[in-house]
Amino acid sequence: MTYSIQDLDDTPWLQLCHAYGRATDTPRHIRALADGKQAARTAAIAHLSGTIMHQGTPWTATAPTALFVAALLRDPNLQLRPRDRAALVSFVGNVGSVILYSPWSIEECEQRAAKTAELPEDPADDEIFWEDVETGDGMYARALVACARSASTLLDAVRPELDSEEKQVRVQAACAVGRIASGLILTKGVPRGVIDDIETLLLDKARSASSTVERCAILLALREVGAEPREFVDDESMAVSVCAALAIESDESATGKLIAALEDAEHLHC
């Protein structure tokens, strides 16, 4: 999806909701991310994490918003502070992986979503609309389905951030890539070859990582995609060794590393 103001205006925000009601205020925040002053961008990022994804819960406005943010991340002309870019990458990762925390399978989500009515035409009727528990569950399911369907596009947006010049962005990118890929494995949203390519990429990044924190984040991402990074189990860094061991199941050596770390927890840090 290519970002443009026209795309933003064509999105039916009045028929989408976030944690505090209709999402008619969301376009203003997306515009602020694109070309606003720093104070407005800071407010926009807070809107994403506190309203669009409120305490980890997606709403029907969540997936469309994430797709706009993903398009912004791919815009080479967008200049952001590293901490802001890292926050946007984290947000996209959270949205792209939220299906992992669903109480239902993707098929059950689709069934519930299909049975749920649209929001009332008049926002004044919203309170009555949300009083029905099944309706609330159906809207939640609809949000989950939309996020799952967007996951592949969101993955494509955060994957290049693994090459960022900023460590904090690379760390958040590793977390996002791992989580989104894990969700795509669950929903069978991409061919297995895509996941294999991600595993290879993450292993290469782990080998070349410039810090313990970054290497640990990548190893935890590898765990998300089902990889077993055995070459790092005996790393001189206890933190790296533990993160590698966490990804390896039913292995005495890996389990031994975890037990040793628990017995010497004061030295376990990144």
Q: What is the 3-state secondary structure (H, E, C) of the chain?
A: CCCCHHHHHHCCHHHCEECCEEHHHHHHHHHHHHHCCHHHHHHHHHHHHHHHEECCEECCCHHHHHHHHHHHHCCCCCCCCHHHHHHHHHHHHHHHCHHHHCCCCHHHHHHHHHCCCCCCCCHHHHHHHHHCHHHHHHHHHHHHHHHHHHHHHHHHHHHHHHHCCCHHHHHHHHHHHHHHHHHHHHHCCCCHHHHHHHHHHHHHHHHHCCCHHHHHHHHHHHHHCCCCCHHHCCCCCHHHHHHHHHCCCCCHHHHHHHHHHHHCHHHCCC
Full residue range of the structural domain in which residue 55 is found: 1-158
Give dist(CA 51, CA 40) in Å, integer.
Answer: 15
- The reply to whether 18 and 73 lie within a common domain is yes
180 found inside a domain? no
- The reply to whether 197 and 74 lie within a common domain is no
pLDDT of amino acid 270:
58
- The reply to whether 96 and 18 lie within a common domain is yes
Boundary-marking domain end, from 135, 158, 181: 158
- The reply to whether 111 and 233 lie within a common domain is no
Amino acid, res. 102: S
Looking up tokens 């009727």 gives: 125
Model pLDDT for residues 160-219, shown as the tens digit of each residue: 999 999 999 999 999 999 999 999 999 999 999 999 999 999 999 999 999 999 999 999
116 found inside a domain? yes
More confident residue, 97 or 6: 97
- Above 80 in pLDDT, residue 53? yes
- The reply to whether 91 and 202 lie within a common domain is no
Q: What is the mean pLDDT of residues 109-118?
A: 95
- The reply to whether 61 and 129 lie within a common domain is yes
Boundary-marking domain end, from 137, 158, 179: 158
- The reply to whether 240 and 138 lie within a common domain is no
201 found inside a domain? yes
167 found inside a domain? no
Distances (CA, A) of 233 to 99, 152, 171, 254, 255: 30, 31, 20, 7, 10
Model pLDDT for residues 131-159, shown as the tens digit of each residue: 999 999 999 999 999 999 999 999 999 99
- The reply to whether 15 and 144 lie within a common domain is yes
pLDDT of amino acid 7:
85
- The reply to whether 239 and 146 lie within a common domain is no
More confident residue, 252 or 33: 33
- The reply to whether 44 and 142 lie within a common domain is yes
Boundary-marking domain end, from 158, 179, 204: 158
- Above 70 in pLDDT, residue 2? no
Please state the pTM of the whole predicted model.
0.94
25 found inside a domain? yes
179 found inside a domain? no
224 found inside a domain? yes
pLDDT of amino acid 1:
46
Q: What is the mean pLDDT of residues 66-70?
A: 96
5 found inside a domain? yes
Number of domains in the chain: 2
- The reply to whether 13 and 84 lie within a common domain is yes
- The reply to whether 27 and 142 lie within a common domain is yes
